[in-house]
Amino acid sequence: MLILGHAGITALVASMLFLPALAAIFGALLPDIIDKGLFLIGWFPCTRFLAHTIFFFPIAGLATYAITRNKKVAVAVSLGVIFHLIEDLNSDIPLFYPFKQYSFIDTCAFGIQLTPYIVISEIIGGLLLIYIFGFSKRFLNFRSKFWKYFRRRFSE
Ligand SMILES: [Zn+2]
């Protein structure tokens, strides 16, 4: 998944949970910013490396809290990282590195393949961003209706 797919889906989930969407988007892009960035300057062996492990989201959350002292922002960043990993599960990611070895790390290359999955998730992500930020009143209206319906369903 590329930028819009990660950003849009994570912004939707965070906003539905009353978490700051921009912090969640930052978290959703963070694994690629770190791993692809450090790969490009030659420090990391692969475009999906330490920031694509299961150990990164608590670290990202704690570091965010240390900097911002804001629990909601920290949870939103962690959530963004978790969703990034879930959305990347269709490709090779080193979830339990360094406790498990992954052979793809050594043959890793930087390349974007426009598969139908990527194209469709980019379109959906872009539309979600437009809906959440461009039509925010409609979105907030949808959110309150959604939770009202949800509460009615589960309080019976
Ligand atoms: Zn990724």
* pLDDT given at position 1: 67
The average pLDDT across 103-132 equals: 87
Number of domains in the chain: 1
Q: How far is the CA of 154 from the centre of ligand 1 (A)?
A: 35
Domain limits for position 113: 3-154
Residue 47: what residue type?
T
Residue 52 CA to ligand 1 center (angstroms) comes to: 7
pLDDT for the residue numbered 28? 96
Q: How far apart are alpha carbons 49 and 134 in whole angstroms?
A: 34
Ligand 1 mean position, distance from CA 44 (Å): 14
Inform me whether the pLDDT recorded for 115 exceeds 90.
no
Mean pLDDT score across all residues of the chain: 92
Please state, in angstroms and as integers, the Cα–Cα distance from residue 8 to each residue in 59, 69, 128, 143, following that order.
23, 25, 5, 16
How many angstroms is it from 101 CA to the middle of ligand 1?
18
pLDDT at position 154, please? 86
Which pTM was predicted? 0.90
Q: pLDDT (tens digit, 9 = 90+) per residue, 5-53?
A: 989 999 999 999 999 999 999 999 999 999 999 999 999 999 899 999 9
Tell me the one-letter amino acid at 27.
G
